[in-house]
Amino acid sequence: MHHVKRALDKGATADEILEACSVAFMMGGGPSIAYTSYVVKALKDFGALDGGEQKGGC
């Protein structure tokens, strides 16, 4: 996902990105949780999330 890559490039951590997903879920309800799976996959693909542990970061 383009937005996940841009956030990582700007220095956001996986935890910060996932926290934003949590806020989106609280505000947007069920439909937003479907997109969280795409975010998690993108974080794994970019190497920012691996089995619940972060790599790299600030």
CA distances from 43 to 27, 34, 50 (A): 22, 15, 8
pTM attached to this predicted model = 0.78
pLDDT for position 34 = 86
pLDDT for position 19 = 96
Helix, strand or coil, per DSSP, at residue 56: coil
Distance of CA 26 to the CA centre of its chain: 15
Instruction: Give 25-38 pLDDT, tens digit per residue.
Output: 898 888 888 899 99
Q: Which residue ranges make up each domain of the chain?
A: 2-54
